[in-house]
Amino acid sequence: MIDALGNPQSLLLVGGTSEIGLAIAQRLLRDRGGRLVLAGRDRAHMEDAARALSRDLPAVEVEVVHLDLTTTNTHDGVLSDVFSPGDVDVAVLAAGVLGDQRRAEVDPGDAVAVAQVNYVGTMSVALHVAMRMEGQGHGVIVVLSSVAGLRGRRSNYVYGSSKAGIDVFSQGLADRLHGSGVRLVTVRPGFVRTRMTAGLEPAPLAVGPYEVAEATASAVVGRADVVYVPPALRWVMIGLRALPGGLFRRLDL
């Protein structure tokens, strides 16, 4: 269970090498310790992350499990194994790929691959986790979305559309879970400085992983269903979504 200070005893991180996800896990487990399950495809890098976490947070017991978002028929078995030792208090769904917009425009398969990870696979895992948390009667699901999903842009509409899908799905799932003892928090960062965005020009209001982690931790213990990081992006996106299409295109975002 999550204690009164917002500290969980157990956490599942889907996207076990995600810099943002690892920062969230560290933030939520640093004061109490507990069980952390890193789930993802790259076992070697997850084991590196597990060793670093064990060194920095000795009270945290870290496990590594293989989970491929693109093979949805395996999700039930993997998540059954994750939940079988005991309750999972928080599940952070942080796996995602940026893709290459220009390549996707000439290779539709590349666009489909982005959607399979960011939307289809994440949706599948979220539903499996939600059913298990409903069974235990408590829990928080954190879904890493993006403000890129709030309005399509010429520069990243493949990635943005995948985030738009998971964002709308998360809103609906949050409503379905209302009153069950399980909450879903949708986190909408802007540009985050990570390995995934290395080499890209940082957008205005860019943040680092630990700023996302702090905002997420506050939401887990609070009541917010949707979190913007930084908070000013909420108002920026209201303005951008209200712009007429012709004017928005001239901004060349």
Share of the chain above pLDDT 90, in %: 73
Q: Quick one: pLDDT band at residue 127, thresholds 50, 70, 90?
A: very high
| pLDDT > 70? residue 4 | no
Taking a C-beta distance cutoff of 8 angstroms, is the pair 155, 117 a contact? no
Number of structural domains in the chain? 1
Preceding amide of 58 cis, omega within 30: no
Least reliable range by pLDDT among 18-32, 109-123, 197-211: 197-211
Task: Give the active site residue among 119, 157, 159, 228.
Answer: 159
For residues 175 and 132, the answer to whether their CB atoms sit within 8 Å is: no
Residue 2 lies in a domain: no
Indicate if the pLDDT at residue 252 is higher than 70: no
pLDDT of residue 230: 92
pLDDT attached to residue 248: 59
Q: Which residue has the higher pLDDT, 227 or 7?
A: 227
Domain membership of residue 17 as a residue range: 10-250
Give the closest residue to 20 by CA, choosing from 186, 211, 183, 165. 211
- The answer to the question of residue 202 being in a domain is yes
pLDDT of residue 237: 80
pLDDT in the model for residue 111: 95
* Helical spans, DSSP H, in 178-228: 209-221
Q: What is the pLDDT of residues 21-31, one digit of tens each?
A: 999 999 999 98
With a pLDDT cut of 70, the percent of the chain lying above it is 93
Q: Is residue 178 part of a domain?
A: yes
- Per-residue pLDDT tens over the stretch 50-87: 999 999 999 999 999 999 999 999 999 999 999 999 99
Is 1 part of a structural domain of the chain? no
228 is catalytic: no
Inside any domain, residue 50:
yes
Q: How far is CA 84 from the centre of its chain?
A: 23
Asked whether residue 3 is assigned to any structural domain, the reply reads no
pLDDT-based confidence at residue 5 (cuts at 50, 70, 90): low
pLDDT band at 131 (very low <50, low <70, confident <90, very high): very high
- Give mean pLDDT, residues 116-135: 98
79: domain CATH number? 3.40.50.720
Residue 253 confidence class, pLDDT cut points 50, 70, 90: low
Which sign does the torsion angle of CA 197, 164, 79, 87 carry?
Answer: positive
Q: Would you state the pLDDT for residue 110?
A: 95
